[in-house]
Structure 1
């Protein structure tokens, strides 16, 4: 097995999880993260993963903040920062990325175009990730178990570099290549709209999706109407079946939600990262970046997105210190078309 050098830019839940497994299997990993405490802990003690009560710690080649520099040249970058931090992260990446290097965007949302604008489309690789992990302390991540991880070229072609990264990420689990990364990203946006709605209240995701099915169905359908107008073919992942929410069969939607809720109840993480940002970390979320871009695309295509826009208003109110509550989901229900 060949070993490679990876720069993990954003060492949080996703980047830290994958960085841990890459380092564990012999790849040279540099973690770049804006949190000095997180970086200091990784530098001193290694990168820790806790799963099913067992703690595993591995050393990494280096851990730095962007201000501390790091390697002069990087070849393989896993970009795993929050969407709103993409530009700042690329300020570190761009001057270091080698001529034949590339950036894999393991982020939520539609960030690939912004990355390509900075490093070139030929050095940008798309990816879809759905992991249930959380940073639980400096240098430590709780791994909620295997999810989905799919990597692909933006133009849908196969490539040696995608195959190589997929091979390396078998260290984590069942990563795979795709010729339709955009389909996975838009499917995740529909699922993510549901999870965003659950962050409006302090209760388990599965319970809120189950109790507020009409809102959840309408949010996903609204996102998928934009995807259809954009010519996107949606892709199923984990227990989420986007076709059921994009179609008109009410029975299929209910059955799909039954499966989704049952699956979510098997996960150790019962609240979303968005909820954690709002309720625990008290910081702004990446939701406006994600769905602001969806609304922009919808406007270009002439697709109405009133429910998504109202959801964003609620998120901004919470970011401004407003109270969580299930009444916010009731408000969304009152504005269903």
Structure 2
């Protein structure tokens, strides 16, 4: 029997993943709050683009406005609902789709940040899974047009990591990993929380930085001040995660302890992670911008509270300070209010 799948939030990540599911024969309903995006997807299809011509597709999809969700009852309940909204929209998005789940239906958080507990507060932990997207590099550039700015990794790197809250390997987690593999490499993890914090180490050091400097992914690695800020924030977040008891995953060829040591001033570790950041620019398109950089450029609310702000909150739980994360929260908030203009000079002497 064909699964009925809902993608709540069909922006860059959600739209890209749902589009590839449809390309592979899955029955997916796109649910999105941006009317122009929904209307154009229905009219002309969803345009998916990558770094090569072979990654260009036009996909005919079924998209509905959030006001039309009740009409889906005619086709039956959803077996899987992905939430791919901003973190601050998690509760209402989960509440929107929860009445339309099948008896064994469940919800997957396909988001930045740690939102599984928010999802579980609505549908219960037994109906909640998480999926981390690491290094996907996508942007909804205009209605019905999604651009990916990094190469497909395939079997060389698991871009998607799917896990249960309890850490067991289940058939439904494997099922979700299969769905994600239509877009890029995927795996099932028994370390969802460690994976989430590992991604938060990256998000906390990249997203806010892009928002308050105006730099893209490569620019943040090349600019010395921005690179210094990245390393300090990543090391601080890694140290806090370990203090909380999470087992962090390696960041490709680098280990958590390297970032912690680099942030503390260890010269050897600092050189290693700087070399890593520069090397990463060779496989990243110039159009790649972290999501908060996209939000700031478009005048939207950012997820700074759910990323760097969250790190500060959790640090306080174990009696630690998080000055680098706190400074980033302040910078981004000021940029959001218009009190500060995004520029690399904001992170001089970070």
Question: What TM-score, normalized to structure 1?
Answer: 0.92
Q: Following the alignment from structure 2 to structure 1, what is the Cα–Cα distance between the partners of residues 215 and 183?
A: 30
Task: Determine which of 74, 83, 86 is the counterpart of 1:82.
Answer: 86
Task: Determine which of 151, 159, 169 is the counterpart of 2:162.
Answer: 151
Please, which moves more after superposition, 111-120 or 216-225? Answer: 216-225
Task: Determine which of 102, 119, 126 is the counterpart of 1:98.
Answer: 102
Q: Which residue of 1 aligns with 2:125?
A: 121
1:160-183 CA deviation, whole Å, 9 max, x = no partner? 001111122221121111111111
Q: How does 1:206-245 map to 2 (within 5 A)?
A: 206-210=218-222, 211-212=224-225, 213-238=227-252, 241-245=255-259
CA contact (8 A) 1:126 1:154 kept: yes
State how many pairs are aligned: 329
Q: Following the alignment from structure 1 to structure 2, what is the Cα–Cα distance between the partners of residues 203 and 315?
A: 13
CA contact (8 A) 1:264 1:270 kept: no
Using the TM superposition, give the Cα deviation of residue 10 of structure 1 relative to its aligned residue in structure 2, in angstroms: 0.6
Q: How does 1:185-224 map to 2 (within 5 A)?
A: 185-195=196-206, 196-210=208-222, 211-212=224-225, 213-224=227-238
Using the TM superposition, give the Cα deviation of residue 117 of structure 1 relative to its aligned residue in structure 2, in angstroms: 0.9
Identify if the C-alpha distance between structure 1 residues 13 and 155 changes in structure 2 by more than 3 Å, giving closer, same or farther: same
Using the TM superposition, give the Cα deviation of residue 216 of structure 1 relative to its aligned residue in structure 2, in angstroms: 2.1
Identify if the C-alpha distance between structure 1 residues 89 and 49 changes in structure 2 by more than 3 Å, giving closer, same or farther: same
Q: Which residue of 2 aligns with 1:59?
A: 60
Please, which moves more after superposition, 70-79 or 171-180? Answer: 70-79
CA contact (8 A) 1:10 1:33 kept: yes
Q: Following the alignment from structure 2 to structure 1, what is the Cα–Cα distance between the partners of residues 145 and 197?
A: 30
Question: What TM-score, normalized to structure 2?
Answer: 0.88
Q: Following the alignment from structure 1 to structure 2, what is the Cα–Cα distance between the partners of residues 270 and 172?
A: 18
- For residue 220 of structure 2, give the secondary structure of its aligned residue in structure 1: helix
Q: Which residue of 2 aligns with 1:46?
A: 45
Q: Following the alignment from structure 1 to structure 2, what is the Cα–Cα distance between the partners of residues 44 and 29?
A: 17
1:50-103 CA deviation, whole Å, 9 max, x = no partner? 12246311112x211111224232110111111111122112112112231111
Q: Following the alignment from structure 2 to structure 1, what is the Cα–Cα distance between the partners of residues 278 and 199?
A: 16
Using the TM superposition, give the Cα deviation of residue 203 of structure 1 relative to its aligned residue in structure 2, in angstroms: 3.0
CA contact (8 A) 2:47 2:57 kept: yes
CA contact (8 A) 1:48 1:57 kept: yes
Identify if the C-alpha distance between structure 1 residues 319 and 65 changes in structure 2 by more than 3 Å, giving closer, same or farther: same
Q: Which runs of 5 or more structure 1 residues have no equivalent in the other structure?
A: none
Using the TM superposition, give the Cα deviation of residue 118 of structure 1 relative to its aligned residue in structure 2, in angstroms: 0.7
CA-atom RMSD, angstroms? Answer: 1.9
Q: Which residue of 1 aligns with 2:281?
A: 264
Using the TM superposition, give the Cα deviation of residue 250 of structure 1 relative to its aligned residue in structure 2, in angstroms: 3.6
CA contact (8 A) 1:83 1:290 kept: no
Q: Which residue of 1 aligns with 2:6?
A: 7
Q: Following the alignment from structure 1 to structure 2, what is the Cα–Cα distance between the partners of residues 65 and 239?
A: 42
Please, which moves more after superposition, 238-247 or 259-268? Answer: 238-247
Task: Determine which of 295, 317, 327 is the counterpart of 2:345.
Answer: 327
- For residue 22 of structure 2, give the secondary structure of its aligned residue in structure 1: helix
Q: Following the alignment from structure 2 to structure 1, what is the Cα–Cα distance between the partners of residues 132 and 56?
A: 26
Matched, 1:314 2:331: yes
Please, which moves more after superposition, 18-27 or 320-329? Answer: 320-329
Q: Which residue of 2 aligns with 1:161?
A: 172
CA contact (8 A) 2:258 2:273 kept: yes
- For residue 306 of structure 2, give the secondary structure of its aligned residue in structure 1: helix
Matched, 1:293 2:310: yes
CA contact (8 A) 2:308 2:328 kept: no
Using the TM superposition, give the Cα deviation of residue 33 of structure 1 relative to its aligned residue in structure 2, in angstroms: 0.5
Q: Following the alignment from structure 1 to structure 2, what is the Cα–Cα distance between the partners of residues 257 and 104?
A: 34
1:206-230 CA deviation, whole Å, 9 max, x = no partner? 3333412432222112111221121
Matched, 1:71 2:42: no
Using the TM superposition, give the Cα deviation of residue 237 of structure 1 relative to its aligned residue in structure 2, in angstroms: 4.2
Q: Following the alignment from structure 1 to structure 2, what is the Cα–Cα distance between the partners of residues 205 and 172?
A: 21
